[in-house]
Amino acid sequence: MYAIVEIAGQQFKVAKDQKVFVHRLEEKEGSKLTFDKVLLLDDGKVTIGAPVIKDAVVTAKVLSHLKGDKVIVFKKKRRKGFKKKNGHRQYLSEIQIEGISIKAPAKKAAAKTEKAPAEAKPAAKKAAPAKKAASKEKEAVKAPAKKAAPKKAAPKKAAPKKAAAQKESPKK
**Percent over 70 (pLDDT), the chain:** 60
Longest Cα separation, the chain: 102
pLDDT of residue 114: 55
Q: In Å, what is the CA distance from 21 to each residue of 37, 38, 48? A: 18, 18, 24
What is the pLDDT at residue 103? Answer: 79
Residue 69: per-residue pLDDT: 97
How do residues 112-145 score in pLDDT, each as one tens digit?
Answer: 555 555 555 555 455 555 555 555 555 555 555 5
pLDDT score of 19 more than 70: yes
User: Tell me, what's the pLDDT at 140?
Assistant: 54
Is residue 66 over pLDDT 60? yes
Residues 2/19, Cβ–Cβ less than 8 Å = no
| Positive/negative CA dihedral, 62, 64, 67, 68 | negative
**b/e per residue 40-58 (b: at least 16 CB within 10 A):** bbeeeeeeeeeeebeebbb
What's the average model confidence in pLDDT over 94-116? Answer: 72
Candidates 18, 106, 102; CA nearest to 63 is 18
The pLDDT tens digits for 21-55 are 999 999 999 999 999 999 999 989 999 999 999 99
Q: What distances in angstroms separate CA 8 from CA 34, 37, 59, 76, one per listed residue?
A: 12, 10, 14, 34
**Sequential DSSP letters for 93-140:** EEEEEEEEEEPPPPHHHHHHHHHHHHHHHHHHHHHHHHHHHHHHHHHH
Give CA–CA dist 172/162, Å, rounded.
16
Residues in the chain: 172
